[in-house]
Amino acid sequence: MAKRFLKLTTDYSVLLLGARGTGKSTLVREIYPASNNLYIDLLNPEEEARFARNPNLLIELVEAMPFAAQYVIVDEVQKQPKLLDVVHLLLESRKCGKYFILTGSSARKLKAAGVNLLAGRAFVYHLFPFSYLECGECFRLEDALRYGILPKIFAFTSSEDKQRFLQSYTLTYLKEEIWAEQLIRNLNPFRKFLEVAAQSNGKIINYSTIARDVGADDKTVKNYFSLLEDTLLGFMLAPYHHSFRKRLKSAPKFYFFDVGVTRALAQMLTVTPKEGTSYYGELFESFVIIECMKLASYYYSEYRFSYFMTGAGLEIDLVVERPAQPLLLIEIKSSEQVRSEDLKSLRKISVELGNCEAICFSNDPLQRKVDGVMVYPWKEGIAKFFALQ
C-alpha cells in the first residue's frame, strides 16, 4: 500500500469520510489494528442485520472489551446511522474510556441521522483517491488521465480489467449507495443524469439544459447534484467574487472526484485521450484541480477554492484564497510549451484584482518565467503550493 498523506489522530475519536474505494478501511486497519480492538464492518450483511435489530448491542460489546483495548472501529457507519446515538451515549460516559473510529461514504445519511451529535467529540477527516505524490514511481500521467487513481486500479495491469473495474465501480455506486439506501425513488433518470453530468464535468452548470437532457425539472437536477456531493462523488467549484453574496448567486462548476470515474460515467473509457486535443486538455485540467484540492484538504484546510470568469468571458481555472497570503491565481495548460499569448487572460485579470500571485501549471518540463508569470511543471507546482513544505 502507498503511504497515505492523511494523518489520523490516535488519541481522540475520528469520523473519516470518503467515497467508496478511496482506501478508508485499509488506512483505518493500518493505524488501528483490528486484532487489538473492536472492529465492526457494516458492509458485512450479517453484521449490519445484527446491529439493525439491536443498536444497543454496541454498548455490551464495548463494556466487554479488555481494558488495554483503545479503539472501537465502525466501518461504513452510514449503513446503520442509529449507531451514532449509541456512540454519542458512550462518548458521554466517563466509564467508557475508548476512542471511536467511524468511517462513512454518505454524508447525507449521516446528516439525516444527526451526526452533529458528534460535534466536538470526534475529529472529521476526508480521504480521497491516491495523490500522484503518494503513488511515487508507480504514477503515470497517461494512465491517470485514462483510468484515474483510485487505489484498487493499481491491482490491474490490462486496460480491459481497468475498464471493467471502473464500470463495476459505477454500478456498485448506483446499487449500494443510491438504490439500496433509497436516496431516490426512480433510478433511470438519475442514471441518465450521471452520464450527462460526467460529460459536463468541469463546465459551468446550466441546470435547465441538464434537466432537459435528463427529462426532469431544475429542482430535481439540483437535488441530484446535492446527492453527488453528499455521497462524496464530487464537489462544486464556486465562482470567485469579492462579495460572498454575489458568489452564491453565480453558477458553479461541478467536478467528479476522480477522472477515471468521470470517464466511466460518461461512457468514454474506450476513448484514449490524445495530447493536443480539447478532451485531453479538459481531463488534465480536472486532474490538476482535484490534486490541488485533495492535498490542500490534507495540509491546508483553510484554503478556499473557486474559479474566475469576467463578463467578457476571460477565465482563470483556479483561484485559491489563502489566509494571510495574496490571492493565488492558477492557469492550467496541458501543452508542453506555454506561450505568452496563453497567459494573456491571467496577466490581465491579475492586474485588475491586484495583490495576487499569478502562476501556471503545465506539461512544460522546465520551470520558466514568461512575461512576468511563473510557469511550473505541474508536478513541481502542485508540490510547491499544496504539499506540506
Grid cell of 270 as nine digits: 474506450
State pTM to two decimals: 0.93
CA-only gyration radius of the chain, Å = 22
- Do 132 and 144 meet the contact criterion of CB atoms below 8 Å apart? yes
Q: In a structure prediction context, what are the per-residue pLDDT tens digits for the chain, which is 389 residues long? A: 578 999 999 999 999 999 999 999 999 999 998 787 999 999 999 999 999 999 999 999 999 999 889 999 999 998 898 898 899 889 887 678 899 999 998 877 676 655 555 767 889 999 999 999 999 999 999 999 999 999 999 999 999 999 999 999 998 887 777 776 666 778 788 889 999 999 999 999 999 999 999 999 999 999 999 989 988 999 999 999 876 566 555 899 999 999 999 999 999 999 999 999 999 999 999 999 999 999 999 999 999 999 998 878 889 999 999 999 999 999 999 999 999 999 999 999 999 888 899 999 999 999 999 999 999 999 999 999 999 86
CA distance linking residue 28 with residue 180, whole number of Å: 25
Q: How would you list the strands of the sheet with 356-362, edge to edge?
A: 304-309, 315-321, 327-333, 356-362, 373-377, 368-370
- Do 374 and 367 meet the contact criterion of CB atoms below 8 Å apart? yes
Residue 202: which residues within 8 A CB-CB, separation 6 or more?
253, 254, 255, 282, 285, 286, 289
Kindly report the number of other CB atoms within 10 A of residue 146's CB atom: 22
Which pLDDT tens digit goes with each residue over 211-253?
A: 999 999 999 999 999 989 988 999 999 999 876 566 555 899 9
- Do 76 and 104 meet the contact criterion of CB atoms below 8 Å apart? yes
Phi, psi of 250 (to 5 degrees): -85, 160
**Domains defined for the chain, CATH in brackets:** 14-126 (3.40.50.300), 132-236+254-272 (no CATH), 287-386 (3.40.1350)
CA distance linking residue 310 with residue 312, whole number of Å: 5
Kindly report the number of other CB atoms within 10 A of residue 313's CB atom: 7
| The 3-state secondary structure of the chain, one letter per residue | CCCCCCCCCCCCCEEEECCCCCCHHHHHHHHCCHHHCEEEECCCHHHHHHHHHCCCHHHHHHHCCCCCCCEEEEECHHHCCCHHHHHHHHHHCCCCCCEEEEEECCHHHHHHCCHHHHCCCCEEEECCCCCHHHHHHHCCHHHHHHHCCCHHHHHCCCHHHHHHHHHHHHHHHHHHHHHCCCCCCCHHHHHHHHHHHHHCCCCECCHHHHHHHHCCCHHHHHHHHHHHHHCCCEEEECECCCCHHHHHHCCCEEEECCHHHHHHHCCCCCCCCCCCCHHHHHHHHHHHHHHHHHHHHHHCCCCEEEEEECCCCCEEEEEEECCCCCEEEEEEECCCCCCHHHHHHHHHHHHHHCCEEEEEEECCCCCEEECCEEEEEHHHHHHHHHCCC
Q: Are strands 234-237 and 327-333 parallel, antiparallel or unpaired?
A: unpaired
Which pLDDT tens digit goes with each residue over 36-55?
A: 799 999 999 999 999 999 99
Q: Which of 32, 98, 3 is nearest to 59 (CA)?
A: 98
**What is each CA distance from 178 to 105, 128, 300, in whole angstroms?**
11, 20, 31
